Chain A
Amino acid sequence: MRYSGFKVFTEGLFGNKGWTPAWRDAAPKAEYDAVIIGGGGHGLSTAYYLAKNHGLRNIAVLEKGYLGGGNVGRNTTIVRANYFLPGNSEFYSHSLKLWEKLEGELNYNVMHSQRGQVVLFHSDGQRDAAVRRANAIVNQGDDAEILDVPTLKQLYPFLDYNQTRFPIYGGMNQRRAGTARHDAVAWGYARGADQLGVDLIQNCEVTGIDIEGGKVVGVQTTRGAIKAKKVGMVAAGRSGQVAAMAGMRLPVESHIMQAYVTEGLKPCIDSVISFGMGHFYISQSDKGGLVFGGDIDFYASYAARGNLPMLEHVMEAGMTLMPMIGRAKVLRTWGGIMDMTPDGSPIIDKTHIDGLFVDAGWNYGGFKAIPASGWCMAHLMATGQPHEVAAKFRLDRFRTGHLIDEEGTGSQHNLH
C-alpha cells in the first residue's frame, strides 16, 4: 500500500478500515542468501539497501525482540554531519544526503526536521577549534557557520550568557542538522524492506553462528537453524555477544547512556542546542517534551537504565546553560546500551571468516548513521568491497594504528 495525503483523506471518510499492517509477520525459511542479525536501524537499512541497490531478494532480518526495541527507539534523534576527521567526514556527509531524500525514498513520514543544531563554545580555544571544524565541514561540502553572541541572543534569548564559569562566546551552527522520529525510521525501513521481499523475523534470537572450513554457513536461532550464504552482524550494543558466537573479540565495550524527557510544553526550543562545557544537549519533540541527554555513565553495563550521578550531572549542566528549564518536570529517563570503540568511530568490515560481516561500534552517534551504514554495509556484503565513504571503518585499524579519534580523547573505550 502506498501512503499519500489522498489515502489519509479517503480513509478518514470511510472509518479508517482500509489500513493494512505495514509489514508481514514472516516465519523463518530454511535458507537465505543473506541473513542480518539485529533488527535495529542499521540492520533494517542494510536489508533494505541489499534488496534495493543490489537486487538481492532472499534476505532475512533476525531480531531477538521486536523491531525497533533497541537503541533505534531509545535515542535522542539528532541527525547532523558536522564531523571533522577524514573517514567520518565523508561518511556522515553521505548519510545526511540520504536523510534529505529518505521520506520520498521510503514513502514514509520519518518526521525528519532540519531545524538546525548549534554547538556552543565558551573560550577562545574552543572558538578556534569550532572555526577549524566549520571550515573542514564546508570543505566536505556541508554547511556550517559561526554565530556571534548578538545573533545567538536573538535566536535563543533564554540561554544564560554571562555566567561566570562558562560564558558563551558563540556557536557553530549547522542549519541542515536536526532531528527525526526514531521509531518511524525503523518502521519506514522495515516496511520498505518488506515490500522488497525481505523477511523480518521477530522474537528470533540468534544463539550460534555456524562456520565450516573458515566460511559461514548459517545461524542457530530460538526459531531453529537457518542456512545462509552471507551473515551480517548488526547488533549494536550486543555486538560483543554476537561476535563471540563466531569466536571473535571485537574492539568494543558496551556502556550505558541515558536520556531524559520532560512533560509536554508549548514550543520554546526550535533547534538542537549543545553545551560546549559539560556534556548536555537538548531539543524539543513534536509532542512538546524537552528531550535531552549527556554523557555515558562511564562504566561497562548492559542494564538499559542508568545511575543517578550522571542524571545529576546532566541536570546541573542544563540548569547552567538555560535556567528556564528548571520548572519543567522530568517525565521519564531511560538508557540504551552503547557499543563503544577505543576511538569513538564505527566499524563496517569483513571478518576473517568468509561471508561473515560486521557493522558495529556506533557509540552514541549511530542514529544519524542509519541510512549510510545500511547503504555501505549492503555494498560490502553484496560486492565484497568496502564502499568508498566507509573505507576507513576497518576492523583492524586499532592494531594498525589508523584510529579515527574525533574527540582526541585517547584509546580507551569509555572516553568518547
Chain B
Amino acid sequence: MRLTCPLCGPRDRREFYYYGAEDYLHRPAPDAPIEAWDDHLHLRTNLAGVIKDLWYHEGGCASWLLVTRNTITHEVLSVERVADRKGASA
C-alpha cells in the first residue's frame, strides 16, 4: 500500500504512522460532557467501505494527513493535509 503525500509524492506505507479514524479531528470542548469525549476517543462507526482516517508522515515531511480510502479493497482515493483543510485550526 502506498499513500501519495501532497508534499512528498507517492510513498511506501512504512513511512507513515497510523493514528485512527477521522473522529480524532472532532475534538470536543474541554468542558463538553463525558459522552462527547467518549465518542471522540473510543466509539467508532467502523465502516466497511470508504472511510477517512488520520496518518502521520513520520518518515517524510511530518504532516498529518487525512486519507480517504476503502477498508475492503485497500484502495486509496485521496490524501490531503489536515493543515490545508478548510476551517482547519492550528
Chain A positions within 8 Å of B, measured between CB atoms, are: 238-241, 244, 249-254, 298-303, 307, 309, 342, 398-399, 411-414
Asked whether B44 lies within 8 Å of A299 as measured between CB atoms, the reply is no
A244 and B47 alpha carbons, distance in the complex (Å)? 9
Count B interface residues, CB 8 Å: 27
The minimal Cβ–Cβ distance linking B45 to chain A, given in whole angstroms, is: 6
The minimal Cβ–Cβ distance linking A256 to chain B, given in whole angstroms, is: 9
Residues from chain A with Cβ under 8 Å of B19 in the complex:
412
Asked whether B71 lies within 8 Å of A251 as measured between CB atoms, the reply is no
Residues from chain B with Cβ under 8 Å of A398 in the complex:
38, 41-42
Asked whether A413 lies within 8 Å of B20 as measured between CB atoms, the reply is yes
Residues from chain A with Cβ under 8 Å of B45 in the complex:
240, 244, 249
Query: Provided the pairs A398-B38, A399-B38 are in contact, do residues A303 and B72 lie with their beta carbons within 8 angstroms?
Result: yes
Asked whether B18 lies within 8 Å of A301 as measured between CB atoms, the reply is no
Residues from chain B with Cβ under 8 Å of A411 in the complex:
41-42
**The residue from A250, A302, A399 contacting B71, defined by CB atoms under 8 A apart:** A302
List 10 A-B residue pairs with CB atoms under 8 Å apart, sorted by A's residue number: A240-B45, A241-B48, A249-B44, A251-B42, A251-B43, A301-B74, A399-B38, A412-B20, A413-B20, A413-B44
Asked whether B47 lies within 8 Å of A240 as measured between CB atoms, the reply is yes
**The residue from A252, A253, A298, A302 contacting B72, defined by CB atoms under 8 A apart:** A302
Asked whether B53 lies within 8 Å of A342 as measured between CB atoms, the reply is no
B90 CB-CB contact with A under 8 Å:
no
B27 CB-CB contact with A under 8 Å:
no
Asked whether B18 lies within 8 Å of A251 as measured between CB atoms, the reply is no
**The residue from A251, A303, A399 contacting B44, defined by CB atoms under 8 A apart:** A251
Nearest CB in chain B to that of A239: its residue: B46
Interface of A is mostly: mixed
Asked whether A298 lies within 8 Å of B71 as measured between CB atoms, the reply is no
Asked whether B14 lies within 8 Å of A309 as measured between CB atoms, the reply is yes
A413 and B72 alpha carbons, distance in the complex (Å)? 18
Nearest CB in chain A to that of B53: its residue: A300
B32 CB-CB contact with A under 8 Å:
no
Asked whether A300 lies within 8 Å of B42 as measured between CB atoms, the reply is no
In B13-43, the 8 Å CB interface with A consists of: 13-14, 18-21, 34-35, 38-39, 41-43
A309 and B18 alpha carbons, distance in the complex (Å)? 13
The minimal Cβ–Cβ distance linking B6 to chain A, given in whole angstroms, is: 19
Residues from chain B with Cβ under 8 Å of A412 in the complex:
19-20
The minimal Cβ–Cβ distance linking B15 to chain A, given in whole angstroms, is: 10
Residues from chain A with Cβ under 8 Å of B44 in the complex:
240, 249-253, 413
Residues from chain A with Cβ under 8 Å of B71 in the complex:
254, 300-303
B89 CB-CB contact with A under 8 Å:
no
A239, A250, A298, A299 — most chain B CB neighbours (10 Å): A299
Asked whether A399 lies within 8 Å of B35 as measured between CB atoms, the reply is yes
Asked whether A252 lies within 8 Å of B46 as measured between CB atoms, the reply is yes
Residues from chain B with Cβ under 8 Å of A413 in the complex:
20, 44
Asked whether A307 lies within 8 Å of B13 as measured between CB atoms, the reply is yes
A251 and B13 alpha carbons, distance in the complex (Å)? 26
The minimal Cβ–Cβ distance linking A147 to chain B, given in whole angstroms, is: 35
A413 and B42 alpha carbons, distance in the complex (Å)? 8
**The residue from A244, A249, A307 contacting B74, defined by CB atoms under 8 A apart:** A307
A399 and B1 alpha carbons, distance in the complex (Å)? 34
Nearest CB in chain A to that of B39: its residue: A249
